[in-house]
């Protein structure tokens, strides 16, 4: 069910939720090279590490591979995802509010948000980019509300200015009619 109120929109109500590809998931004992190859083939920036019931254990990102493998000159074929993943990442429920997670991700400075169902199974991964389409309409709405408030706050000035303009127009008409 879609909601019309953008300020009370659940993650599962976002168009991105239904159109997102299935998250790339692996078990903790998967080799980093295997995960990296799959990420490369599917153009994904991360994999979700899950248990046999598809519950989130961790997230391994391109940055994890860069910092924990490449920068340390470690053989990726000898490491498992369990050794480089971010353990127990923040996860959202699909019924959580978009605006809450937008704020949390921004404040806590993380880029990927695994989204789970009622049984805690992975459903999607939202990224900061997925929230951009939410923020533009929100910014436009805020600008509109600020403009309304500005006009309302300056109502006496608008009234005086409008009166002077109306008086001037009437005077031009009266003078030109003479």
Residues 49 and 5: their CA atoms lie apart, in Å, by: 34
What number is the average pLDDT over the span 4-17? 71
80 or 133, which is more confident? 80
How do residues 94-126 score in pLDDT, each as one tens digit? 999 888 898 899 899 899 999 999 999 999 999
Mean pLDDT confidence for 76-104: 93
Three-class secondary structure of residue 35 per DSSP: helix
Tokens of 49: 């590490």
Q: Which of 91-100, 145-154, 166-175 shows the highest mean pLDDT?
A: 91-100
For residue 9, report the phi and psi dihedrals to the nearest 5 degrees: -90, 130
């Amino acid at each position: 069910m879609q909601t019309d109120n953008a300020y009370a929109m659940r993650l599962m109500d976002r168009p991105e939720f239904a159109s997102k590809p299935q998250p790339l998931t692996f078990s903790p004992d998967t080799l980093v090279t295997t995960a990296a190859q799959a990420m490369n083939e599917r153009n994904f920036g991360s994999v979700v590490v899950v248990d046999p019931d598809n519950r989130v254990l961790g997230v391994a990102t391109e940055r994890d591979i860069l910092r924990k493998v490449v920068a340390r000159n470690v053989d990726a074929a000898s490491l498992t995802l369990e050794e480089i993943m971010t353990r127990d990442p923040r996860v959202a429920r699909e019924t959580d509010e978009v605006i809450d997670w937008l704020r949390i991700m921004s404040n806590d400075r993380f880029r990927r948000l695994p989204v789970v169902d009622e049984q805690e199974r992975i459903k999607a991964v939202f990224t900061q980019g997925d929230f951009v389409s939410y923020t533009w309409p929100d910014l436009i709405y805020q600008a509109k509300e600020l403009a309304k408030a500005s006009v309302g706050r300056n109502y006496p000035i608008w009234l005086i200015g409008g009166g002077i303009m109306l008086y001037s127009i009437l005077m031009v008409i009266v003078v030109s009619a003479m």
